[in-house]
Chain A
C-alpha cells in the first residue's frame, strides 16, 4: 500500500496570501460527527486534546489558563495536560473526571469534525448512547498494554446497537510497548474475532500514541511496519451517512405546515432519506392519499432537487390532508404503518422501566402514548448474555414489545434511524427516560382491526337506564377502601342501580393470581383491572374499584381509558398512623417485624392523587357519611 497523502489542518500560507481562494476552498468542506469511546486511562482526553491543539483550535488565552490549570490539578507534572482542555464543568474538573456528554469542534482543510466525548465510567451506557446517536463513526480506544477489556466490548456493542457504520480502533500508548508490531497484530486479531461475534462487519485499526502524536496526522517513523491510513486521514475520507441515505427512497417527516396566506400551503421538514424533485409521485402517510411534488421551496429560490439531510418546504399539486406527524414518502416505496413493535430499549432514568405503564413517545415528528407490553429479555452489557427480566434499571438494555395508542409511520431503525429511533418521556416529570430502536412491527398489529359491535355501550346503558361510571377508590392499606366500597355498592343497589365491585384482594385470587407485589407487578395489576372495569362500563354498569393503586401514573392511565367524565377518582385519605391502628389483617405489624416486604406506605411508596374528584378524610367522616358522599357524586 502506498503512503496516503497527509491531511492538512490549515494552509497558513494560502490564508496569508490569498484569503479569497482559501475561503472558496473552505466552502466545500464536508462534516463528520464521531464519538470517542474509552476511559481517561486509555488516554482519550489526551487524544482529543491533541486533535484540538494541533488544529489550532486553542488560543493563547485558553492556553494560558490551561498551563495554570495543568500545574494546579494536572497529571503531567510541568507539561501541559491536554486532558484538561476537554474537561468542562468546574465540579468535574475538581474531581478529575468528566460526567456527561460534551461536544468539541475542530477542522482540517477537507472536513469539519464534531466530536462527542463521553466519560468511561458509571452512567456510561446512557451517555454513550446519547453521544453515539448523532455520530457516524466511533473511535474506540484501546490501551496497547492492556488489550481488549470488558469495556472495549461494551463500547463496541453500544456502537453497534446505535447503528454506527464505521469503527476506528485506535490502539493507543504504542510508545509504552516499544511500538511492537506483534502487540498491535494480536489486539487486531482478538478484536476481529469479537467484532464478528456481535455483527460489526468492518473496522480500521491504527497504532497511535496520543501523547507523542504517532500516526495521528503523519505516519510515524516509529512504526515502519504500519502503512495504513493515519487516524486523521481516515476521519477525513470515510464515507458519510448522508451519501448512503441519499440513495434510498424519499422520506420526509412533516414538521410544520407553512401557510403564509390562502394561496400557499407548504410542508416543511428535513429529508431523512432519498431525493425529491418536482413531479415525483409521493404518498402522505399514514393514509392512502397520493399526489405529486409541485415545488421544492427555499428562500434562495426553488430547487430542482433536494437530498437527504436538507431542510426544505415542499408543495403538492393536489389539495390533500397533510400535517405534522405524517411522512411524505416515495409513492412506489411507502413506509410501513403500525402500532405494535419489537424494539431495543435503553433505560436512562433512576426510576425503573415498568411494563404496562404509559409513557410519552417521540418518534419522528409524532408525540404519542406508548406502553411496553412485555420485555423479552435484557442484555448483560458486560457478558452480552441475554437474561430474563421484566423491568429495566438505569443503564439497562432490553428487547421489548411496545404498543402505541395509534398507528404511526415508521421504518426499522437499521434502515432509517430517523423513522425508527424514539425517546420515551415520563408523563409527570417530563424527563427523557429511555431511548429505543425499532426492529420490526409485530404481525398482530397489522392483522387486528377493531370489530364493529352493533349493540354498543350507549345501548347497554340505555337498557339499564343509568350512566356508566367508574368509581376508583385509592388509598393506603387499611385506609377503609373496601368497607366504604361495600357500603357504596349496597346503597346504589338499594336505589336500583346495576353495579359491580372489583376489590383489590379478590382479583388477586383470579385475574391477577400470577402477580406479586413488586412495582412492575403492581403496575400490571392495575392495567388489567382498568381494562376489565372499562369492559364492564361498556356493558352499562357502575363499577366500583377499591385498590391501593399507589402510582399516579397508572390511575391516570385508567382515567385515559374512560370516556370524559366517567372516571371518578376518590381519595380515601387516612394518615399512616391511623391506618396502622386499624390494620384488620395485621399488615403493618408484620411489616414492622420484617415479615412482609413491599407494603405500600411502609417500605413501598404511595403517591396521593393531586386533583381527585372526591377527597374523603376518614378522620372527619364515618364510613356511612363517606359512602353517601360518593353515591351523591356518582348520581350527580
Chain B
C-alpha cells in the first residue's frame, strides 16, 4: 500500500475534527474571512460532509473595510457549498463610523474582536471553526485544536485542557464557547499546495496584477475604493503587487511581485525571506502582541 501523502493526512485529520464538532456541538458555525486559509478550510468542510452540505452556516464578521473583490467571492463561495452565509457588522462601530484611518487599533478591537463576540452571542453559537494555524505565530504553537473561551471570551493560556490522541473533549461549562482550529497542523506552504492540488478558487488579489498603490510607513497599501484617505504629498502609483494575507485594505501591506499563477506564488513563497504576518499592521508593536490580543478575545 502507498503511504498517504502529508496533504492527505492533514486533510483526513481536519475532516475528523470537523465531524466531531458536528456530532457533539449544539450550534456550530464556521468563521469565514474570505482569505486563502478560509478557502482551504471551507473546501475541507465540503469534503467532510459530502454528499450533505456542511451542517452549519458560514459567518463573516465584517468590518466594511475589506477589499471589494473579497465581498464578491464571499457570496459565491457560500452558494457553491450550499451553506447559509451570515454577515455581521458591529452596529456600534457602524454608528460611530469607526475606520482604520482615524481610529488605529480601536478599529480592529471594535469591528473584529467586539464584532465577533456580539455575533456569537446574538446567534448563540457554542462552537466556532477558525482557520488559524500553529505555524503563524509563536503563541499559536501552544494553542489547542479545541480552545475554550470563558463567558467573556477570554483565552487562558495557563489553563488549557490536555489534548490526547484524536479524542477531543467538547464538554463546556455554562456560558463557555469553543474555538476550533481544524487546520492547526497545516503550514502556509501546505495551504498553498492544497489550493493548487485541489483547484480551490481564491480572491484574485493573491495573484499579481498592476494595481493602484501608495507607500506608507513601510507598507505598500492598495487604493481599493474612494474612501482611501491620502496624506499630504501621497501619490497613487501603479505597481505589480499581490497580497500574502488579506484583511482590511487600509491595514494590509502588499508585496511587489510578478507572480500571477499558483506555482509562481509558491515559488516566491519558498524563496522568500519574510513571514506572512509581516504584512499585517497589528503585529508590529511587540512580539507578544498576538498573545495579548487573544487573551482579550481576538480570534
Contacts and interface: CB of A to CB of B under 8 A. Distances in A.
Contact of A299 (B46, B185, B267): B46
B160 interface: yes
A275 B1 CA distance: 10
B124 interface: no
B216 interface: no
Contacts of A59: 272-275, 278
Contacts of A417: 165
A383 interface: no
Given A26-B193, A103-B141, A423 B5 contact: no
B72 interface: no
Given A69-B287, A90-B291, A242-B4, A27 B52 contact: no
A89 B270 CA distance: 27
A269 B22 CA distance: 12
B164 A243 contact: no
Contacts of B266: 19, 23
A346 B8 CA distance: 32
B263 A23 contact: yes
Nearest to B267: A19
B50 A16 contact: no
B167 interface: yes
B237 interface: no
Contact of B185 (A27, A114, A307, A423): A114
A559 B249 CA distance: 58
Contacts of B105: none
Interface residues of A, number: 86
B161 A431 contact: yes
Given A10-B270, A298-B47, A422-B167, A61 B278 contact: yes
A76 interface: no
Given A61-B274, A270-B12, A423-B167, A242 B50 contact: no
B3 A270 contact: no
Nearest to A106: B187
Nearest to B133: A105
B51 to A, nearest CB: 5
Contacts of A60: 273-274
A130 interface: yes
Interface in B11-62: 11-13, 15-16, 19-20, 22-24, 46-53
A26 B190 CA distance: 10
Interface stretch (B87-95, B168-176, B203-211): B168-176
Contact of A255 (B19, B138, B263, B287): B19
B6 A88 contact: no
Contacts of B24: 367
Contacts of A91: 157-158
A443 interface: no
A133 B162 CA distance: 11
Interface string A430-467: 11100100000000000000000000000000000000
Interface stretch (A35-43, A308-316, A468-476): A308-316
B6 A15 contact: no
Nearest to A33: B185
Contacts of A29: 5-6
A65 B137 CA distance: 12
A111 interface: yes
Contact of A311 (B22, B48, B139, B161): B48
Contact of B190 (A89, A112, A269, A313): A112
Contact of B157 (A65, A89, A264): A89
A429 B173 contact: yes
A89 B142 contact: yes
Contact of A27 (B11, B193, B274, B278): B193
Nearest to A60: B273
A338 interface: no
Nearest to B189: A107
A587 to B, nearest CB: 35
A115 to B, nearest CB: 10
B200 interface: no
Interface centre among A19, A111, A431 (most CB of B within 10 A): A19
Contact of A298 (B50, B157, B292): B50
A12 interface: yes
Interface stretch (A203-211, A357-365, A396-404, A565-573): A357-365
A309 B4 contact: yes
Given A23-B193, A102-B141, A429-B173, A130 B9 contact: no
B164 A435 contact: yes
Given A91-B157, A112-B6, 7 more contacts: A59-B278, A88-B141, A114-B185, A256-B22, A268-B19, A367-B24, A432-B169
Interface of B: 1, 3-13, 15-16, 19-20, 22-24, 46-53, 134-135, 138-139, 141-142, 157-158, 160-167, 169, 171-173, 184-185, 187, 189-190, 193, 196-197, 263-264, 266-267, 270-275, 278, 287-288, 291-292
Nearest 4 A/B pairs, CB to CB: A90-B288, A31-B6, A311-B15, A430-B171
13 contacts: A19-B264, A19-B267, A31-B5, A31-B6, A31-B9, A59-B272, A59-B273, A60-B273, A134-B166, A242-B3, A246-B1, A256-B49, A297-B51
